[in-house]
Every structure is written in C-alpha cells, then in structure tokens.
Amino acid sequence: MSIETGYCNFPLCQRKAEKNGYCVCHKIYSDTPAEKKAPYKIPNKSANAKKTDRKLKKIVDDLKLINPACQLKTPVCTGYAQGSDHIVKRSPKNVTDKNNIVLACNACNSWKEANSKKAKEMGISKSKFTPISVTVIDHELKAIILEEI
C-alpha cells in the first residue's frame, strides 16, 4: 500500500495514512516525523485594549510631569508615584477618565486593595454604584456646575 492510495504503508494495514505514509498507529516506522501544525497563538491583548492602554499611559505620563508625588497618601506611602490608580474601579466607561485617575506609589496601591473599607473612609476609593460628581466650567454662563454622573 502506498501514499498515493491514501492508506498506510505498513503491511496489511488498512488505515488512512498521514503525510509521512503511515497511519497514527504505525508512524513510529516512518523515517520522517509527521508534520505538526504550529499552534495558533492567541494575542495577549486585543487591538482595542492596546489602544486604550496607550491612551491611559499618555494621561499618566502627563500627570507625572505636572506632579510626580503619590496622591493617595496612605500609612505606607513612599511619596513617589510609580503608576496610576483608579478611584472607582476600572471599567470600559471610566478607564481613561481623567477625573478618575490619580497617581500612586505601588505601596499605596497595594494597601488600598488590601484595606478597601479604610480606603473608602479616606475617600481614595469609591463604589462604582455611587454617583460621581464632576466639575464642569460653563464659559458662557461664567459658572462652575457640579454634575452627578
């Protein structure tokens, strides 16, 4: 039997052959290993997530230029901001909202996650279910308006 017929080259075997001429049971007798498909690599992040991350990084870099100090000021604060933190947990709606981003050192960020009740009491963490006040400056009325979202 041969590869042209589509059956295994092993004597008396009637199974379908792979590309090397032998079936799955007799492939050990082949001189060349059967070709394996390269596994499909799943991307770590989608194109949209990468775009959002770039936008967030630019916002954080701009904030660091203005004032590189940690803004959370927890009991374990190191004083120098190493990244950012979201007052209301990240969601697609607020991930790049400048009113929701504060600079934080890694120690403060970890402390905030470990002590959520104290963080809420200090005002550095808020539930995503409570309304957020946003300051809007209306130049026509020459007034500052507080809006709840």
Which residue type is seen at 55? Answer: K
Instruction: Kindly state whether residues 144 and 93 are assigned to the same domain.
Output: yes
Range(s) of the domain holding residue 20? 1-37
**Is 42 a domain residue?**
no
Q: What is the pTM of this model?
A: 0.60
Q: Are 63 and 9 within one domain?
A: no
From the list 64, 58, 62, 9, the residue with the least C-alpha distance to 31 is 9
For 62-80, how does the pLDDT look when each residue is reduced to its tens digit (9 = 90+)? 999 999 999 999 999 999 9
Residue 107 near residue 74, CB atoms below 8 Å: yes
**Distance (Å, rounded) from C-alpha 32 to C-alpha 42?**
29
Residue 80 lies in a domain: yes
Instruction: Assess whether 91 and 141 both reside in one domain.
Output: yes
Q: Within this chain, do residues 32 and 64 fall inside the same structural domain, yes or no?
A: no
Mean pLDDT of 120-143: 72
Residues 75 and 3 in one domain: no
